[in-house]
Amino acid sequence: MKSLYAVFSVIVVSAMVSCSSPEAPEYLGFRDFSIQNVSMDSALLHTELAFYNPNTFNMELKREM
């Protein structure tokens, strides 16, 4: 009976640790700022944003403006 309790405890603790919610990436700043294609009514701005990912898995930003 004690071994069953120990196995159940390990499973519960493992589930609690592995199912934590992901943390938001931290904004570090921008780099390589440039202005391209300037005209009288518009301008194209280009930059790269730097983030730190505190999670143990990779993330990819999908939104482009």
User: What pLDDT shows up at residue 56?
Assistant: 82
**pLDDT-derived band of residue 57, with 50, 70 and 90 as boundaries?**
confident
Is 26 a domain residue?
Answer: yes
Domain coverage including residue 55: 22-65
C-alpha–C-alpha distance, residues 63 and 52, integer Å: 17
Residue 16 within a domain: no
Split into its structural domains, the chain has a count of 1
Scan for tokens 């930003």, then name that residue: 61
Entry pTM: 0.51
Cα gap 31→38, rounded to integer Å? 20
